[in-house]
Structure 1
Amino acid sequence: MSYLEHNVKSTPTGPRKMLHMNWPLTLLLISVASVGFLMLYSVAGGSFQPWAEPQMKRFALGFAAMIIVAMVPIWFWRNMSVLAYLLGIVLLILVATIGEEGKGAQRWINLGFMRLQPSELMKISLVMVLAAYYDWLPAKRTSHPFWVFVPVALILLPTALVLKQPDLGTSILLLAAGGGLMFLAGVHWAYFAAVIAAGVGLVTAVFESRGTEWQLLKNYQYRRIDTFLDPSSDPLGAGYHITQSKIALGSGGWTGRGFMQGTQSRLNFLPEKHTDFIFTTLAEEFGFVGGFSLLTLYALIIIFCVYTALATRDRFSSLVTLGIGLNFFLFFAVNMSMVMGLAPVVGVPLPMVSYGGSAMLVLMVAFGLVHSAHIHRPRQQRR
């Protein structure tokens, strides 16, 4: 008997797989979703309609999907990675041709029972295909220019399609998640230093070109930058969202005004209170304590993703788990930065708390992959 056969037992099969799920992670996901239900109930004025009840149903559907994905061996999902990516590209192209438009953007496909946002699916499909690519690629070729170009192309194609919708927030997330996964896969830091240097140079050129004959942006785009840097310069126009958000955040204090007592949300001063700006409602009603508690739950979810990545023994499982954890981090980091005025308002929802079907379902499927990697990892043989 070989050393591996002696020390590693086969992964669990059948109903035993349920016992080997990462139940602490599952409880954390339920806890975060429950916070979302509570806040959607609050912003509706103490009613499960029109947001809390549909969100509960979507979570139940997503939870079932997570279990199904978790029960399937992780190697199956590796083999499906390219197909998932190509399906995501096709759906993004369909959005551009037959997609539904809302609030000035064409981002959805109407399936009858729900509106699907393919850009949400692409977030997980991109992670899967990049993880499969680096699992296939020998480590010594990771930083070779040609083999760096391939994942860059895989990232830029969906990013361009999403940016055309337009959806700047999701485009930024795709770029950041893709680049982050390349870094985690071992691509040399010099590539990232060059990209950062080019970005700094571009930003400098944008500001220096203002008012010149070679001005790089339109005047209204510069006004948006001015509003981001100083929302008070246009408090009733472009700066309204972030001004009201800061008022709600500040009025919550340490412990908040109390459940369903937030004046900014109840009196409809706070825009998009059930989607992008729901964190400000939480902070107003439960204060710093409530906001920090939610942030702690998010941090614990990231920790369990990292733990699963370190516990697995194959490159695909580790990278796909780290990629999902990175995506999840970017979700709440960008949203919280946005509502606090630390980043421009780009329309990124708060994961599992903001109202939305596609984002909820995709996140649950993504965590199904994390569970699959956890369940099907080799385990030490008990003596």
Structure 2
Amino acid sequence: MPRAYVPAAIARQPWRVLLPLAMLVVFGGFVLYSAAGGHLQPWALTHVLRFCVFLALAMLIARVPQDWFKRAALPIYAGLCVLLVLVELIGGIGGGSQRWLNLGFMTLQPSELMKPGIVLVLAWFYSVLPVGETRGWRAVAPAVVLLGIPAGLVMLQPDLGTGLAISFGAVVTMFLAGLPLRLFLGGVGAGLIVAPLAFFTLLHDYQRKRVLVFMDPENDPLGSGYHITQSKIAIGSGGLFGKGFGHGSQSHLDYLPEAQTDFVFATMAEEWGMMGGLFVLAIFAVVLRWGLKVAMNAPDRFSRLLAAGMTTTIFFYACINLMMVMGLAPVVGIPLPFMSHGGSSMMTNMICIGTIMAVDRWSRRSGSGLA
């Protein structure tokens, strides 16, 4: 169809990214369809419909002016902190953790929303902080407080994986804001000292077991090492081209736990093989490259930090999940963006996409002299 017949609001969308992203979601739908034994419900159809709904949300976010983002940063952060407190008071319990709020029409995991929320509030904070003060304590202490409150509340649930994801986005934003490198090197050094103490005193028994299993999963292949052992069997058995759509034995015979969420990549790799895995990685490369390009072309400090922080949030999701299912990181319960079944995860990642789209729009308007 000629471009002249396409409405301007549709034509200006970054389809070079949204179309590959839609392909990844549909591919994830096929994987979930197979994991359910050849049924659209309960996962595949819901997965694709959620993407469509949240794609509309992302397009709405992309239309929000920059000033609105700045004015809303602190209220959004405060509101999410209140939701995290409510999780501790009245949240639903599942799998030994208290992470969800039942809103009637949906179950919300506020800690997921804090991942883009912490990036937004820190981007706002460093945009109003004079550049000359980024090397002093005024750039560090408030940011540590802004991070410490939600990270602490999430750790209490307990949810180590999400707590690390929130911290990762915050630390990357702080680093890109120009804080001295010595602070981060000192933080790494302190972490190496504190980590052994935290392992024995702060972590729960199941969290310590996850770390030990990561180091030697074959030590207890039928117990605590079962998840990662079955995941590696599924990925390895797929070979180059996989066993074929609908012929994955690990997921169909229920050997692979959480085949539709945390281990969806293993489910995919068994049936689609290494070629399917390369397709997934290629789509993520397109999305992350686009996000970083938007950040580099952003018109101001706030926009750059916001786009870069949202991009690294998606990167952390994908990187840790892929490392987890291949036995390169402990199992921490982080879903694979745009493929794993889950409403809160899809909403969070599409909020990140919509925010990057907004920054891209601000850049184009600034370049054309309209902003």
Q: Using the TM superposition, give the Cα deviation of residue 178 of structure 1 relative to its aligned residue in structure 2, in angstroms.
A: 0.6
Q: CA RMSD in A?
A: 2.0
Match of 1:11 in 2: none
Question: Which amino acid is 2:341 matched to?
Answer: Y
Alpha-carbon separation, structure 1, partners of 2:88 and 2:218: 36
Q: 2:56 aligns with which of 43, 58, 64?
A: 64
Task: Find out whether 1:249 has 2:241 as its counterpart.
Answer: no
Q: Secondary structure at the match of 2:168?
A: helix
Question: Which amino acid is 1:283 matched to?
Answer: A
Match of 1:306 in 2: 292
Q: Using the TM superposition, give the Cα deviation of residue 16 of structure 1 relative to its aligned residue in structure 2, in angstroms.
A: 3.9
Q: Using the TM superposition, give the Cα deviation of residue 226 of structure 1 relative to its aligned residue in structure 2, in angstroms.
A: 2.9
Q: Secondary structure at the match of 1:376?
A: helix
Unaligned runs of 5+ in 2: 1-6
Task: Find out whether 1:370 has 2:356 as its counterpart.
Answer: yes
Match of 2:110 in 1: 118
Q: Using the TM superposition, give the Cα deviation of residue 219 of structure 1 relative to its aligned residue in structure 2, in angstroms.
A: 7.6
Q: Could you list the per-position Cα deviations for residues 86-136 of structure 1 after superposition, in whole angstroms to 9, with x for gaps in the alignment?
A: 111011011111111111111111111110100011111111001111111
Match of 1:6 in 2: none
Unaligned runs of 5+ in 1: 1-14
Aligned counterparts, 1:275-314, within 5 A: 275-314=261-300
Alpha-carbon separation, structure 2, partners of 1:17 and 1:184: 32
Q: 1:173 to 1:206 in 2, by over 3 A?
A: closer
Q: Is the contact between residue 181 and residue 323 of structure 1 (CA under 8 Å) also seen in structure 2? A: yes
Alpha-carbon separation, structure 2, partners of 1:17 and 1:192: 43
Q: 1:72 to 1:216 in 2, by over 3 A?
A: closer
Q: Secondary structure at the match of 2:98?
A: strand
Q: Using the TM superposition, give the Cα deviation of residue 217 of structure 1 relative to its aligned residue in structure 2, in angstroms.
A: 7.1
Q: Could you list the per-position Cα deviations for residues 15-58 of structure 1 after superposition, in whole angstroms to 9, with x for gaps in the alignment?
A: 74543322212112212211211111110111101111111221
Task: Find out whether 1:157 has 2:149 as its counterpart.
Answer: yes
Alpha-carbon separation, structure 2, partners of 1:85 and 1:162: 14
Q: 1:148 aligns with which of 137, 140, 159?
A: 140
Q: Using the TM superposition, give the Cα deviation of residue 227 of structure 1 relative to its aligned residue in structure 2, in angstroms.
A: 2.1
Q: Could you list the per-position Cα deviations for residues 186-212 of structure 1 after superposition, in whole angstroms to 9, with x for gaps in the alignment?
A: 1111000001111122345678xx8xx
Q: Secondary structure at the match of 1:48?
A: coil
Match of 2:367 in 1: 379
Q: Which moved more, 1:296-305 or 1:216-225?
A: 216-225
Question: Which amino acid is 1:379 matched to?
Answer: G
Q: Which moved more, 1:218-227 or 1:322-331?
A: 218-227
Q: Which moved more, 1:363-372 or 1:353-362?
A: 363-372
Q: 1:345 to 1:140 in 2, by over 3 A?
A: same
Question: Which amino acid is 2:31 matched to?
Answer: M
Question: Which amino acid is 1:40 matched to?
Answer: L
Which structure's CA Rg is the greater one? 1
Q: Is the contact between residue 139 and residue 179 of structure 2 (CA under 8 Å) also seen in structure 1? A: no
Alpha-carbon separation, structure 2, partners of 1:217 and 1:98: 23
Q: 1:374 to 1:293 in 2, by over 3 A?
A: same
Alpha-carbon separation, structure 2, partners of 1:216 and 1:161: 14
Q: Is the contact between residue 81 and residue 129 of structure 1 (CA under 8 Å) also seen in structure 2? A: yes
Q: Is the contact between residue 210 and residue 330 of structure 2 (CA under 8 Å) also seen in structure 1? A: no
Q: Which moved more, 1:23-32 or 1:151-160?
A: 23-32
Match of 1:8 in 2: none
Q: Is the contact between residue 21 and residue 374 of structure 1 (CA under 8 Å) also seen in structure 2? A: no
Task: Find out whether 1:348 has 2:334 as its counterpart.
Answer: yes
TM-score, structure 1 as length reference: 0.90
Q: Quick one: percent identity of the two aligned structures? A: 43
The alignment covers a number of residue pairs equal to 362
Q: 1:102 aligns with which of 94, 107, 126?
A: 94
Q: 1:261 aligns with which of 247, 255, 273?
A: 247
Q: Which moved more, 1:189-198 or 1:17-26?
A: 17-26
Q: Is the contact between residue 34 and residue 245 of structure 2 (CA under 8 Å) also seen in structure 1? A: yes
Q: Which moved more, 1:138-147 or 1:157-166?
A: 138-147
Task: Find out whether 1:130 has 2:122 as its counterpart.
Answer: yes
